[in-house]
Amino acid sequence: MPIDPEIARKKLEALKETLEQESGLSDEARQTVELDQQAVGRLSRMDALQAQAMAQAQERKRQADIIRIDMALRRLAEDEYGYCSECGEEILAARLEIDPMAERCVNCA
């Protein structure tokens, strides 16, 4: 295995915890924007809608990463972590250091 499984597990769990905390912190930014014409001008409403859309996109990315982390943790538990899901070759440790969720080698990616 190209990387110590315990180190990988701790890194993945820490990353998941960070993403879950960020998700909780950004909850308010993803809420429905109130369109009170008396309270804010047209540009302010547009800015609020744009900020909401960006926060929702970031949340979708976070949730996708959490799913990838869960898949990597499952591969760790099944002793398949660090091996390409397509060709079965070992994934370079440097690649896993950059992206601990990587499931494919550089050639297959």
Question: pTM above 0.75?
Answer: yes
Q: Would you state the pLDDT for residue 87?
A: 95
* Closest alpha carbon to 101 in 57, 70, 61: 70
For the chain, the structural domain boundaries read: 5-80
pLDDT band for position 25 (cuts 50, 70, 90): confident
* Closest alpha carbon to 8 in 108, 95, 107: 95
**Left (φ > 0), alpha (ψ -120 to 50) or beta: where does 79 sit?**
left
Query: Are 69 and 15 a contacting pair, CB within 8 Å?
Result: yes
